[in-house]
């Protein structure tokens, strides 16, 4: 195989993704494949925003680390590269670098929040959760607006369904954080 044909078959990297011109769509890189997603809808944005504000206020007031919003890319795998952008993420003081990069974050979040959009397929959401957990995330919250539930996922395979009257807790990952699931859907 020639060098030219090897270069043509080279998968895009996190650096290539960063350098792509903006076209108005959100992009992620999954195992070397660029995936474009349309902008989120209003309900999705409101839920993600409310969680970001509540989580961010708690983390700041207790000096637990950093909370970042959607559009923040995390490099969670190399060769082939994977860059994912959760709807919200928490990095503890132990994991967060002193300064976050102007480019993609190379640290693994402790907590990731994914809000399911109406066009998200179940297998894609499951794959995303699996990638986060394999990358070392301690807790993943998947918010399902249509059914008004939150499913929490742990690296040991434990998944828990929380309904509107239940309390969403940061447990040991975000100590002291609690929010009634129903508050997410008000």
DSSP string, 73-124: -EEEETTTTEEE--SEEEEETTTS-SS--SS-B-SPPSEEEEEPPTT--HHH
Where in the chain are the domains? Answer: 40-73+82-185
User: pLDDT for 2-39, tens place per residue?
Assistant: 344 444 568 888 888 888 887 777 887 888 888 888 77
Confidence bin at 41 (pLDDT 50/70/90): confident
Superfamily of domain 40-73+82-185: tt1808, chain A (3.90.1570.10)
User: pLDDT for 108-142, tens place per residue?
Assistant: 999 999 999 888 899 999 999 999 999 999 999 99
The pTM of the full predicted model, rounded to 2 decimals, is 0.89
- pLDDT value at position 171? 94
Q: How far apart (Å, rounded) are the C-alpha atoms in residues 6 and 92? A: 41
Q: How far apart (Å, rounded) are the C-alpha atoms in residues 135 and 7? A: 28
Q: Does residue 87 contact residue 115 with C-beta atoms inside 8 Å?
A: yes
- What is the Cα gyration radius of the chain? 17
CA 132-135-141 angle, 5° bins: 25
Q: Does residue 65 contact residue 89 with C-beta atoms inside 8 Å?
A: no
């Amino acid at each position: 195989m020639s060098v030219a044909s090897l270069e043509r078959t080279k998968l895009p990297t996190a650096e290539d993704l960063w350098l792509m011109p903006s076209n108005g769509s959100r992009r992620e890189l999954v195992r070397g494949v660029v995936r474009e997603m349309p902008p989120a809808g209003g309900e999705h944005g409101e839920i993600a925003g409310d969680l970001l504000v509540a989580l961010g206020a708690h983390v700041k007031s207790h000096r637990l680390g950093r909370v970042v919003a959607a559009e923040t890319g995390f490099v969670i795998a190399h060769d082939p590269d994977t860059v994912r952008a959760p709807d919200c993420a928490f990095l503890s003081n132990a994991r967060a670098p002193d300064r976050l990069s102007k480019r993609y974050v190379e640290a693994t979040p402790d907590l990731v929040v994914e809000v399911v959009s109406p066009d998200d397929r179940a297998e894609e959401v499951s794959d995303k959760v699996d990638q986060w957990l394999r990358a070392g995330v301690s807790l993943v919250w998947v918010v399902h607006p249509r059914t008004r539930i939150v499913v929490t996922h742990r690296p040991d395979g434990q998944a828990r369904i929380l309904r509107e009257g239940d309390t969403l807790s940061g447990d040991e990952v975000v100590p002291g954080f609690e929010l009634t699931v129903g508050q997410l859907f008000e």
